[in-house]
Amino acid sequence: MNASPTLGKDLTGLEHMSPEQIRLILDTAEPFKEVSERPIKKVPALRGKTIVNLFFEASTRTRISFEFAEKRLSADTVNVAATGSSVSKGETLVDTARNLEAMRIDMVVIRHPSSGAAEFLGNRIASNVINAGDGKHEHPTQALLDLLTIRDKHGKIEGLKVCLVGDVLHSRVARSNLWGLTKLGAEVAVCGPWTLLPRGIEELGVKVFGRIEEAIEWADVLNVLRLQLERMEKGFIPSVREYYRVFGVTPERLERSPKAITIMHPGPMNRGVEIDSRVADGPHSVILDQVTNGVAVRMAVLYLLAGGRAELADAAKRGSGE
Amino acid sequence: MPRPKAEERTILLDARAMSRALQRMAVEILELAHGTGDLVLIGIQRRGVELAERIAKLLEKAEGAEIPRGALDITLYRDDLGAVGPNPVIGATHIPGDLTDKHAVIVDDVLYTGRTVRAALDELADFGRPKRISLCVLVDRGGRELPIQADIVGTVVKTGPGERVDVQVEELDGRDQVDVIR
């Protein structure tokens, strides 16, 4: 009847989504929050759907969050990890997925170390594909739950100043956040050592701060990214202690801002490296709200993709990528 | 270009008739439940919620007791997600406490196929075990596809599948009126 936006067959990233599609997911996530508060935390919306969680990379939070979301919608789920499956025997991604499809599945949630893996798969199988993180490319559901958490806390996203702090270069969370935040009208900045910031990021209209003090003075929200400790060995930063001294988000630094800055972190945290424990556990931290919202956002994505699947699956079978 | 046939709207209930119907329904609920002791009114999103609120206020005025009320969105309990696609607007579900041993009265605007009520019964069962569930609707338009009937009815009208019953409430639509559209 009305021309409300739909999501299409797959969720591979926020880069090519419209602001309306992003808002549709956030609005749909709202009522799903309540489902997790019920005595019986389950609704029958996806009864009879089979979902495979295909994880080629380690993950605790994201995998469990997806699994809770699937189970609370009454879907049947199977978890496949790369180790201990035929993947370790050299089977290709497409063969693995086609074999799963031959067992009549409906959706695949995939995490993969290669950028573009989710889209690659989505173009080759009829099932819905959801990207749970692909290389350094995107992690769309993480950015969506970050957006929902910001909207909950501030009542809006438009006009807010959000700074991503730390290893932006290697972060798919940062990339998805950047797309989502700018599409919904937030001002976005990044802050970190020059070695960990992508070159030319200013051209996307993003502010760049070389010092954490400047970022704190500017921002309404700090999204503190995890410092991947293996980066140190590769020479991106001199030492973990130096990183904490120069870029660590500490109460002393936050006190200098007149605003109460909302603190976010996608996890897992390195306490005492990128974030001080007193900040992570402090009154302005919404880190655990992010985790709670993660389940609601993933329920919304699963629900929206599952509905009206038939004609989209047909399009995929005909081989039209978009 | 052939113009679509003009819709023919006839008024089934005007504001005064609707007000009288709601008053009578409130009295019938009191008789059915033998008072307000265990009563919980559950409105089905969206217009059922407004009607439940109206009836609750009438009961509170008449009995001087507070009537707990809730809202139920049955979208996630529908049996036709694959056919109609997802509903982008899912309303809030709010149930006031555990329903075990309560007398829950489901309030909705129109009773037609009965599928919404079937979904509501499934959903309510996930919030406890009420000692009784009753159904109260403003308009019963016939056309049932399931063995479901209302305990309390505002008005009955015979309609065909090509017709619609349009319930408007002051809170959402600016006026109280029920039309049949042919």
B93 has a chain A CB within 8 A of its CB = yes
Q: What is the DSSP letter of A48?
A: T
Separation of alpha carbons A186 and A156, rounded Å: 9
Separation of alpha carbons B162 and A3, rounded Å: 23
B11 has a chain A CB within 8 A of its CB = no
Look at the alpha carbons of A26, A28, A34, A38 in this order and tell me if their dihedral is positive or negative: negative
Lowest mean pLDDT among A81-85, A149-153, B16-20, B35-39: A81-85
Query: In terms of CA atoms, which chain A residue is nearest residue B128?
Result: A39
Edge-to-edge strand list for the sheet holding B164-168: B9-13, B177-181, B164-168
B89 has a chain A CB within 8 A of its CB = yes
Q: What is the pLDDT of residue A321?
A: 36
The residue-averaged pLDDT of A230-253 equals 88
Separation of alpha carbons A220 and B158, rounded Å: 59
Using an 8 Å CB-CB cutoff, list chain A residues near B122.
44
Q: Could you give the ipTM of this predicted complex?
A: 0.79
Q: Do A24 and B88 touch (CB under 8 A)?
A: yes
Q: What is the pLDDT of residue A310?
A: 38
A153 has a chain B CB within 8 A of its CB = no
Under 8 Å between Cβ of B138 and B109: yes
Under 8 Å between Cβ of A133 and A172: yes
Separation of alpha carbons A136 and A197, rounded Å: 13
Average pLDDT of chain B to the nearest whole number: 92
Q: Do A6 and B81 touch (CB under 8 A)?
A: no
Three-class SS state of B111: strand
Using an 8 Å CB-CB cutoff, list chain B residues near A2.
none
* Half-sphere exposure of residue A172: CA atoms within 13 angstroms, side-chain side: 21
Under 8 Å between Cβ of A192 and A247: yes
pLDDT single digits (tens) A25-55? 999 999 999 999 998 999 999 999 999 999 9
Q: What is the pLDDT of residue A7?
A: 87
Q: Per-residue pLDDT for B91 more than 90?
A: no
Q: What is the pLDDT of residue B88?
A: 59
Under 8 Å between Cβ of A119 and A130: no
Under 8 Å between Cβ of A306 and A3: no
For residue A255, what are the contacts with CB-CB under 8 A and spacing of at least 6? none
Q: What is the pLDDT of residue A109?
A: 97
A309 has a chain B CB within 8 A of its CB = yes
